[in-house]
A and B are shown apart, each in its own frame.
Chain A
Amino acid sequence: EVQLVQSGAEVKKPGESLKISCKASEYSFTTYWIGWVRQMPGKGLEWMGVIFPGDSDTRYSPSFQGQVTFSADKSISTAYLQWSSLKASDSALYYCARLGGDYIEYFDHWGQGTLVTVSS
């Protein structure tokens, strides 16, 4: 069974850096895109972008370009989402999810989510 297990909740201060993780198992990590989705408190889903772990090709939604960085470590089947300088508005639940279909299409398996709280 495909599994995506995300790192635990984080509480940070504005200006701090953060890297959260998404460990994949039970499928070929390097042959599927992995995406990130933001859900702000009480709000809907926002498509942030994707990474192809096979070659680290990344595609960012314009709303998130320059605000976050995706990366992946093939040796441990883990994808990462990182911020260099957090803002209070980054407080949200972040999901990683595997892309199904022929290209960057729909999310067929999801992680459990990582809650990020940014507060002074």
Chain B
Amino acid sequence: ELVMTQSPATLSVSPGERATLSCRASQSISSNLAWYQQKFGQAPRLLVYDASTRATGIPARFSGSGSGTEFTLTISSLQSEDFALYYCQQYNNWPRTFGQGTKVEIK
């Protein structure tokens, strides 16, 4: 099973600052990667797919990059509503797998 490793586990950021989240695949997954945001008590929401394509309605401050085994989700200027959990998910190999998540908290 392909393992997705996210880092850091927790990221402390001040509002208005940039946040950089990482996701590493145990083998190459091309650009077959999605990012999700999950706020407390809510269902996840798709942010990015195909590693760098923003989903419908997602603000431009969210950007995804990377290919192969190394991927990054960048939030350019954190807003209060962005403090949440973030998960990556690969869809190159079977079974599809999620990373363990990165919590973005207020510094």
| Interface residues in chain A, defined as those with a beta carbon under 8 Å from any beta carbon in chain B | 37, 44-47, 49, 59, 61-63, 95, 97, 100-101, 104-113
Are A107 and B36 closer than 8 Å at their CB atoms?
A: yes
| Interface residues in chain B, defined as those with a beta carbon under 8 Å from any beta carbon in chain A | 1, 32, 34, 36, 38, 43-46, 49-50, 55, 87, 89, 91, 94-101
List the B side residues contacting A107 at CB < 8 Å: 34, 36, 44, 46, 89
Are A46 and B96 closer than 8 Å at their CB atoms?
A: no
Are B34 and A106 closer than 8 Å at their CB atoms?
A: yes
Selected from A47, A62, A111, the residue in CB contact (under 8 A) with B89 is A47
* Complex alpha-carbon distance, A10 and B89, angstroms: 28
Are A106 and B89 closer than 8 Å at their CB atoms?
A: yes
* Complex alpha-carbon distance, A62 and B2, angstroms: 12
Are A47 and B96 closer than 8 Å at their CB atoms?
A: yes
Are A44 and B96 closer than 8 Å at their CB atoms?
A: no
* Complex alpha-carbon distance, A14 and B91, angstroms: 34
List the A side residues contacting B87 at CB < 8 Å: 44-45
**A96 to chain B: closest residue by CB:** B43
Are B46 and A47 closer than 8 Å at their CB atoms?
A: no
Contact status of A106 and B98, CB under 8 A, knowing A44-B87, A47-B89, A101-B91: no
* Complex alpha-carbon distance, A107 and B44, angstroms: 9
* Complex alpha-carbon distance, A59 and B91, angstroms: 13
A-B contact pairs, 23 of them (CB 8 A): A44-B99, A44-B101, A45-B36, A45-B44, A45-B89, A45-B101, A47-B89, A47-B95, A47-B96, A59-B94, A61-B95, A63-B95, A100-B46, A101-B49, A101-B50, A104-B91, A106-B46, A107-B89, A108-B49, A108-B55, A110-B44, A112-B43, A113-B43
